[in-house]
Copies of this chain bind each other. A is one copy, B any other.
């Protein structure tokens, strides 16, 4: 551990712009870094394929984490707040580089349960989907058209670091890329309020890909048409659909993902 007492220490420079450093390098202020906050998310980062560049935190938090082959800067909560520009009550941060995206085949080979997303642009919903996916046994996530970047800081945080653990990649062209899943034995199940089949009446297929759309507009007609079936969660009349991450959790549970 490297003790740091000066908030202007240049070794901490990449911690000064947390609000933009997670953007892709082609975006304003973007450094393309992946940021984990708090011991739970940081420990998931340390266990992940993401190459850690450095860590910054207070001693009490850093001491709970396993060793890492990168600089570990230890400081006070006050210096930390001064460096990052706001008070972060989780007391520890880790930075990683973005590795190359996974190939579709590396996400789907050996998988039995996949989630496919379309138009999920909200970072919190995306993070929550990964958390629910991890908890309920989903093997991988495929991002169709219109999804945000799951490696944004807020998604990483809301996911409790699970975006770093659950394999994901982009599926394109969209929605024609779904054919690839079907060719690999997956039944693509579109979750849609107007779905023909009630989720509770569906026998879970051996290999299932659950497809979810964004909260307002839902899945596009093209995506639903490309699926093998459309299923719905039985809802009480007149009530808005569930939040997309919650609907996902119900579907993952109902399909016995992870069992």
Contacts and interface: CB of A to CB of B under 8 A. Distances in A.
Interface of A: 40, 128, 131-132, 134-137, 160, 162, 200, 233-236, 239-243, 245-246, 249-250, 253-254, 256, 258-259
Contact of A136 (B131, B235, B256): B235
Given A200-B256, A253-B250, A243 B131 contact: yes
23 contacts: A131-B243, A132-B246, A134-B239, A135-B235, A135-B236, A135-B239, A135-B242, A136-B233, A136-B235, A136-B236, A136-B242, A160-B240, A200-B253, A200-B256, A200-B259, A233-B253, A234-B259, A235-B258, A242-B249, A245-B246, A249-B250, A253-B253, A254-B254
Contacts of A135: 235-236, 239-242
A162 B137 CA distance: 30
A253 B241 CA distance: 13
Counting every copy of the chain, the complex holds 2
A21 to B, nearest CB: 26
Given A234-B259, A253-B233, A240 B131 contact: yes
Contacts of A132: 242, 246
